[in-house]
Amino acid sequence: MNKNALIRATALALTALSATYSIADDSVFKIGLILPMTGQQASTGRQIEAAARLYMAQNGDTVAGKKIQLIIKDDTTIPDVTKRLAQELVVNEKVNVLAGFGITPSALATAPIATQSKTPMVVMAAATSSITQASPYIVRTSFTLAQASVAMGDWAPKNGIKKVVTLVSDYGPGIDAEKYFIERLLLNGGQVAESLRVPMRSPDFAPFLQKVRDQKPDGLFVFVPSGAGAAVMKQFLERGMDKAGIKLIGTGDVTDDDQLNDMGDGALNVVTSHHYSAAHPSATNKKFVEAFQKANKGMRPNFMAVGGYDGMRVIYEALKASKGQGGGDGLLAAMKGQIFESPRGPMFIDGQTRDVVQNIYLRKVQRQDGQLHNVEFDVIKDVKDPGKTR
Ligand code: VNL
């Protein structure tokens, strides 16, 4: 090889190398936010992105002397894509934190990458209990279905809804919701007429609902992921199931604030249990909802938004406390045990489980200032995830 060719070859090799292994810049702190921005769960991505941007607008983009860089990636609601994007963010971008995760399979697919690279992974949406056990680097700021469902299993049979059909989306969070709701329903003297599971991808609720209509239980307990609630509500009402005396109950994913106001008067009086309502009557929440709506015309923050907003807070505060020392492990340690007032109410990141401890509210859909809202009427305080096996 002549000298020029050698120089050209070396330069080429160096370029390739630096493209693959960009040198970590210590003055920048990178948050890799992986969300479903398209596909079935796109509303979840839209809500969390809006909330994360709001948090940064309110709290600045410099923390502990470092410039915060938010890198948003669309996993299109496909777990293999989530995992590949996480790998790229860790290896190429050298992100300091992974965050987001719209659905359980996406969080579970990514967990090994967090473990291998010792990168904290803040789960802002996905809500199956087992997720936090999939990696010691996972911290959750959303909720668990077990947490929310237990409250409904206690409330329903004490309020005349004794014979219940359960209808859940057939994957992690749905299985948890079914299990923990039924456990408490039975404990409180209720009974299960039947347990139905609908496919997670492109579900058709019609044949399931027809079956329930024929069975005439006191209540139908539903879990479907955020974004699918309006379809369930529509078909429930179209079949006149409310008029047949069947009460629709569920976790708050069904009366999702992202869709609730467009569901119409048929949604009135539906009771659900959840950790967040846009109508939560606290000064902190009023400020949050107002700022969110000012920055995002026509959008109401839902429980996904609050998971994203609080997730950013946990990251910011961990960086402040660790001052960027100790890498991923230092950051993780500073995430554990955080306690603060969220727009949802008081919240705590349990240092042992790395999961969220929070209030669960019983809410009834009512009109407030002309809009449909989940109005809270009771609270179970400081609920730990009942789904932890260790
Ligand atoms: C999950 C749980 C997703 C609850 C959701 O909406 C939800 C999950 C996208 O763990 O996959 O409302």
Determine the distance separating the centroid of ligand 1 and the alpha carbon of 261, expressed in angstroms.
20
Determine the distance separating the centroid of ligand 1 and the alpha carbon of 253, expressed in angstroms.
8
148 pocket-lining for ligand 1 (C-beta < 6 Å):
no
From CA 117, how far away is CA 87, in angstroms rounded? Answer: 9
From CA 195, how far away is CA 24, in angstroms rounded? Answer: 51
Determine the distance separating the centroid of ligand 1 and the alpha carbon of 106, expressed in angstroms.
11
From CA 169, how far away is CA 222, in angstroms rounded? Answer: 8
225 pocket-lining for ligand 1 (C-beta < 6 Å):
yes
The model's pTM is 0.94
259 pocket-lining for ligand 1 (C-beta < 6 Å):
no
How confident is the model at residue 170, as a pLDDT? 98
**Whether 186 contacts 192, CB under 8 Å:** yes
**Whether 106 contacts 37, CB under 8 Å:** no
DSSP letter assigned to residue 278? T
Which residues of the chain, if any, have pLDDT below 50?
18-20, 390
Strand partners, 372: 367
DSSP H stretches of helix in the chain: 3-20, 42-59, 79-91, 104-117, 145-158, 172-187, 206-215, 229-238, 283-295, 303-322, 327-335
41 pocket-lining for ligand 1 (C-beta < 6 Å):
yes
How confident is the model at residue 202, as a pLDDT? 86
| Among protein residues, the one whose CA lies closest to atom 7 of ligand 1 | 225
253 pocket-lining for ligand 1 (C-beta < 6 Å):
yes
Task: For residue 137, give Cα distances in angstroms to 51, 85, 234, 352, 386.
Answer: 23, 17, 40, 12, 21
How confident is the model at residue 324, as a pLDDT? 85
How confident is the model at residue 313, as a pLDDT? 98
Task: For residue 66, give Cα distances in angstroms to 144, 245, 330.
Answer: 33, 58, 16
**Whether 94 contacts 24, CB under 8 Å:** yes
Q: How far is CA 129 from the centre of its chain?
A: 12
Task: For residue 102, give Cα distances in angstroms to 105, 159, 336.
Answer: 9, 33, 22
Maximum distance among all Cα pairs of the chain, rounded to whole angstroms = 89
128 pocket-lining for ligand 1 (C-beta < 6 Å):
yes
From CA 373, how far away is CA 256, in angstroms rounded? Answer: 9
Determine the distance separating the centroid of ligand 1 and the alpha carbon of 359, expressed in angstroms.
19
How confident is the model at residue 172, as a pLDDT? 98
Index of the ligand 1 atom closest to the CA of residue 126: 10
How confident is the model at residue 6, as a pLDDT? 57
Cβ atoms within 10 Å, residue 270: 24
Determine the distance separating the centroid of ligand 1 and the alpha carbon of 57, expressed in angstroms.
27
At how many degrees (to 10) do helices 206-215 and 229-238 cross?
Answer: 50
Residues shown for the chain: 390
